[in-house]
Structure 1
Amino acid sequence: MKKAMSLFLALGMTAALLAGCGNNNSAPAASSGTAASTGGALSGTVSTNGSTSMEKVIGVLSEQFMADNSGVTVSYDPTGSGAGIEAVSNGTCDIGLASRGLKDSETGLTATTVALDGIAVIVNANSKVEDLTVDQIAQLFTGTVTDWSAVGGDAGAVACIGRESGSGTRDGFESITGTADACVLSQELTSTGAVIEAVKNNPSAIGYASLSAVEGQDGIKAVTVSGVACTEETVLDGSYAIQRPFVLVTKEGATLSAATQAFFDFATSTAANDLIRAAGAVPAAK
Structure 2
Amino acid sequence: MVRRFKVLGLLIGVVLLMAVAAGCGGNTADQQGEQSQGQEQQEQQGGGSTGSITAVGSSALQPLVEEAAKQFMASNPEAQVVVQGGGSGTGLSQVASGASDIGNSDVFAEEKLTPEEASQLVDHKVCVVGMAAVVNPDVKVDNLTQQQLIDIFTGKITNWKDVGGADVKVQLVNRPSSSGTRATFKAYALNGAEEAQGIEQDSSGTVRKIISETPGAIGYLALSYLDGSVTTLKLDGVEPSEENIATGEYPVWAYEHMYTKGEATGLAKDFLDYMLSDEVQKSLVVDLGYIPSTDMKIDRDASGNITNK
Q: Same fold (TM over 0.5)?
A: yes
**RMSD of the alignment, in Å?**
2.9
**1:279 to partner: Cα distance:** 1.3
Residues 270 and 238 (structure 1), Cα distance of their counterparts in 2 relative to 1, 3 Å cut: farther
Can you list the C-alpha shifts for 1:16-44, whole angstroms capped at 9, x where unaligned?
xxxxxxx9xxxxxxxxxxxx899754232
TM-score by length of 1: 0.80
**1:243 to partner: Cα distance:** 1.3
Matched with 1:119 is 131
2:177 is equivalent to residue 165 of structure 1: yes
2:150 is equivalent to residue 141 of structure 1: no
Give the distance between the partners of 2:129 and 2:42, measured in 1 at CA.
Answer: 37
2:198 is equivalent to residue 186 of structure 1: yes
**1:146 to partner: Cα distance:** 2.1
Q: 2:106 aligns with which of 96, 99, 105?
A: 99
Percentage of matched positions with identical amino acids = 28
**Residue ranges of structure 2 left out of the alignment (5+ in a row):** 1-28, 30-38, 296-309
What amino acid is aligned across from residue 248 of structure 2 in structure 1? Answer: G
What amino acid is aligned across from residue 91 of structure 2 in structure 1? Answer: G
**1:169 to partner: Cα distance:** 0.8
Instruction: Point out which structure has higher relative CO (alpha carbons under 8 A, 6+ apart).
Output: 1
Contact 1:132 1:226 (C-alpha < 8 Å) held by counterparts:
yes
Contact 1:61 1:276 (C-alpha < 8 Å) held by counterparts:
no
Contact 1:48 1:94 (C-alpha < 8 Å) held by counterparts:
yes
Contact 2:49 2:270 (C-alpha < 8 Å) held by counterparts:
no
Q: How does 1:20-39 map to 2 (within 5 A)?
A: none
Give the distance between the partners of 1:119 and 1:39, measured in 2 at CA.
Answer: 40
What amino acid is aligned across from residue 270 of structure 2 in structure 1? Answer: A
Tell me which structure has the larger Cα radius of gyration: 2
TM-score by length of 2: 0.75
The alignment partner of 1:144 has SS state of coil
Q: Which moved more, 1:166-175 or 1:141-150?
A: 141-150
2:55 is equivalent to residue 43 of structure 1: no
Give the distance between the partners of 1:191 and 1:109, measured in 2 at CA.
Answer: 25
Q: 2:211 aligns with which of 199, 216, 220?
A: 199
Residues 177 and 120 (structure 1), Cα distance of their counterparts in 2 relative to 1, 3 Å cut: closer
What amino acid is aligned across from residue 262 of structure 1 in structure 2? Answer: D
Give the distance between the partners of 1:233 and 1:227, measured in 2 at CA.
Answer: 14
Can you list the C-alpha shifts for 1:129-165, whole angstroms capped at 9, x where unaligned?
1101222211110112222222111233321111011
Residues 124 and 178 (structure 1), Cα distance of their counterparts in 2 relative to 1, 3 Å cut: closer
Matched with 2:164 is 152
Matched with 1:3 is none
Contact 1:117 1:246 (C-alpha < 8 Å) held by counterparts:
yes
The alignment partner of 1:87 has SS state of helix
- The answer to which structure has the higher helix fraction is 2
Matched with 1:217 is 228
**1:55 to partner: Cα distance:** 1.9
Give the distance between the partners of 1:144 and 1:166, measured in 2 at CA.
Answer: 25
Matched with 1:88 is 95
Give the distance between the partners of 1:193 and 1:204, measured in 2 at CA.
Answer: 18
Residues 278 and 68 (structure 1), Cα distance of their counterparts in 2 relative to 1, 3 Å cut: same
Give the distance between the partners of 2:65 and 2:177, measured in 1 at CA.
Answer: 22
**How many residues are treated as equivalent by the alignment?**
259
Q: 1:77 aligns with which of 79, 84, 99?
A: 84
Give the distance between the partners of 1:228 and 1:164, measured in 2 at CA.
Answer: 27
Contact 2:138 2:215 (C-alpha < 8 Å) held by counterparts:
yes
**1:210 to partner: Cα distance:** 0.9
Residues 180 and 107 (structure 1), Cα distance of their counterparts in 2 relative to 1, 3 Å cut: farther
**1:182 to partner: Cα distance:** 1.5
Matched with 2:68 is 61
**1:285 to partner: Cα distance:** 4.2
